[in-house]
Amino acid sequence: MQFEAERVRRNVQNATTEDLLDRITVYRKGMELEAIAIIEGELQDRGIYRDGIRAHAARRERQILPPRDGIAISCSFCHRPAIAEGWGWHWLSKMIWGQRRRLLPVFPRFLHYCEEHRPPALLPTSEESPHLPE
């Protein structure tokens, strides 16, 4: 697979700062060196330097589930790093009037959740887990 620098540059310019910080920290080991340089350059253009990147890495280290092979586990519903995990259902779904509707739970499956997608039942108490958001 060939690296497409211009496509990566466009993608990076359109990404949120938090997304770029996650890419450069918790997802770094799975990235091309050229992409890392492009992301670091974009973060500098946005006024975020090494200290800000280190602070984000330290915060994520306290929040996320332990990485596999040095790369953070992604949420089952988006690309953000997972901070909780648990059993859920794989749903049969269908597009109805332009919206995806869940119709029927098909089978149980193990899921990973970011802060946004974590169900209330998986909200840990402060003494239960080191993977709490601040």
- Structural domain of 40: 5-63
Contact (CB, 8 A) for 95 and 127: no
Give CA–CA dist 23/74, Å, rounded: 11
Provide, rounded to the nearest whole percent, the portion of the chain with pLDDT above 90.
66
Number of domains in the chain: 2
Average pLDDT of span 97-109 = 86
Looking at residue 123, its pLDDT comes to 63
The residue behind tokens 């859920």 is: 88
How does pLDDT run across 60-83, given as a tens digit for each residue?
999 999 988 889 999 999 999 999
Looking at residue 104, its pLDDT comes to 86
Which of the listed residues 24, 44, 63 is the one where a domain comes to its end? 63
**pTM assigned to the model:** 0.78
CA–chain centroid gap for 4, Å, is: 22
Any idea which of 5-14, 15-24, 114-123 has the lowest mean pLDDT?
A: 114-123
Contact (CB, 8 A) for 83 and 62: no
Percent helix, strand and coil across the chain, each rounded to 5? Answer: 40, 25, 40
57 shares its domain with 71: no
72 shares its domain with 59: no
10 shares its domain with 70: no
